[in-house]
Amino acid sequence: MSPAHSRATVEVTPGGAVRGRVRPPGSKSLTNRALICAAFARGRSELRGALDSEDTRVMIAALREVGFDIKTSGSHRHLKVGGAMGRHAPAGEQALFIANSGTSVRFLAAALAAFGGRYRLHGVERMHARPIADLVDAIAPHLQGTIRALSPHGCPPVEIDSRGYREPGASMAIELSVAGNVSSQYLSGLMMSGPIQATQANESAPRSLRVAVDGDLVSLPYVEMTAAVMRDFGVSVSIDATQPSGHLVSICGAYRGCQYAIEPDASAASYFWAAAAITGGQVTVAGLNRRSLQGDVRFVDVLEKMGCKVEWSDEGITVSGRAERGIDVDMNSISDTVQTLSVVALFASQPTRVRGVAHNRFKETDRIGDLARELRRLGATVDEHEDGLTIHPLPEARLDSEREPTKIQTYHDHRMAMSLALAGLRMRGVLITDPSCTGKTYPNYWYDLETLIGRSHHWSSSEDRQNFVGAASAGGTS
């Protein structure tokens, strides 16, 4: 990020009801899962509709550094990935920079431990404060070698010196156990690591991997998404939720290269559905439907409870009308949309209580405490709880009054920037700092939002607008 970008601000300008149609870029979650499966598959794969963003470029760069053949075309939306069969770990230690990409560090730590080799996974300062100890502790007892989290409190950098998983016992299954209450990415990483040694072998490997989840499992839809992607790459996956102690996931088989289409990002779609809910408009997000793999499409169910109308079709999902009612909602399974809902809740008629998202404190920023702080800057009353927050609506007089511009801090968190900017659809003077942080998952967000609402944002300078909107316009949307 250039110094000019770090000083930039953007203000989304108020107007009437937002009406239109938009197709967000490909899902980050699906892109990074498919990259792991394709890289460690037998044979070549083609991924179409991939997301081009900081998080996916970090994953691609790391896999290339390890030696995998990944070719990009179509503005990085079409990826050709060579498989891993017969490939050996690189000589010497590989230092892999993973920025602040949680999926990259957690998926790669598990995958590379299973693959074998020496690696050091490191990132930005915030990444070195994000927990990974539960994943490391799940892998370490079963590894031929070592894996360690080097920062205090079990955070990256992660150091790996491995010859793969130990041979399983008489049951021919590697048995792992992981806590489920901090991040579903731990379980997803372990799941995707299971087929790697089987894929590398020239003959079918009878071994399998089983992961027992200790306690509650957060964000279950992301685990189900992982299973669905793995199945498309030829692996057998079952999830048993009937165990007394929690979920048990069983994996068997090797990855096979395939043609894989990546659907639009449902977390990104939440911002556009919210634009309709905040303004009483009508917005269709194309490319998502009831068959979508991403749990975050269920954000529209929350908006429906608040008073919006939702229409589903094979081509897209449409939200119309105002979200007028406050609700009490457990968002454990769609926790990446909490910030979006919190902004919608500012314009409802009763308070909204969000529950079940204590793990949001360990994301790119503290998405409970920091979110509450920024909502208060807008004049809202917010009650912070251990597992979520209560958002009280802004008084109508507050919306109509002239107010001094308020700089909203984003903590270099893409979701803080994209969600809190939506308050500007109803309020003047909401200045979003560090707008370039949206590049983590959605580089063209400001252009797509401006196109949808049909009016320009206010930027700190014309140069900034050209940097963030003009470049996207010249190259088309993601």
pLDDT digits (tens, 9 = 90+) for 68-93: 999 999 888 999 999 887 778 889 99
Q: Is the pLDDT of residue 48 over 70?
A: yes
> Cα–Cα distance between 201 and 205 in angstroms, integer?
7
pLDDT value for 3:
41
How confident is the model over 28-52, as a mean pLDDT?
Answer: 97
Name the residue with higher pLDDT: 390 or 173.
390
- Scanning 289-388, the segments in alpha helix (DSSP H) are 299-305, 338-345, 369-377
Q: Is the pLDDT of residue 355 over 80?
A: yes
Binned at pLDDT 50, 70 and 90, residue 461 comes out as confident
Which residue from 107, 101, 116 is spatially nearest to 66, judged by alpha carbons?
Answer: 116
How confident is the model over 427-438, as a mean pLDDT?
Answer: 96
Least confident range from 58-67, 95-104, 162-171: namely 162-171
- Scanning 154-305, the segments in alpha helix (DSSP H) are 184-193, 196-200, 220-232, 266-279, 299-305
Beta bridge partners of 159: 120, 148
Known catalytic residue at 366:
no
**For a pLDDT cut of 70, what percent of the chain falls above it?**
94
pLDDT value for 476:
45
pLDDT in tens, 298-324: 999 999 999 999 999 999 999 999 999
> Cα–Cα distance between 263 and 28 in angstroms, integer?
10
pLDDT value for 167:
86
Beta bridge partners of 46: 80, 259
Choose the catalytic residue: 336, 370, 413, 434: 336
How confident is the model over 416-443, as a mean pLDDT?
Answer: 96
Query: Residue-wise over 192-222: b if at least 16 C-beta within 10 A, else e?
Result: bbbbbbbbbeeeebebbbbbbbeeebbbbbb
Name the residue with higher pLDDT: 90 or 107.
107
DSSP letter at 362 equals: G
pLDDT value for 467:
74
How confident is the model over 429-453, as a mean pLDDT?
Answer: 97
Binned at pLDDT 50, 70 and 90, residue 396 comes out as confident
Q: Is the pLDDT of residue 424 over 80?
A: yes
Which residue from 472, 348, 360, 354 is spatially nearest to 415, judged by alpha carbons?
Answer: 360
How confident is the model over 442-464, as a mean pLDDT?
Answer: 93
According to the 3-state scheme, what is the secondary structure of 131-188? Answer: CCHHHHHHHHHHEEEEEEEEECCCEEEEEEEEEEECCCCCCCEEEEEEECCCCHHHHH
Q: What is the mean pLDDT of the chain?
A: 92
pLDDT value for 284:
98
Q: Is the pLDDT of residue 446 over 80?
A: yes
pLDDT in tens, 166-207: 988 766 789 999 998 888 999 999 999 999 987 776 555 557
Least confident range from 122-126, 144-148, 340-344, 468-472: namely 468-472
Taking residue 261's Cβ as centre, other Cβ atoms within 10 Å add up to 13
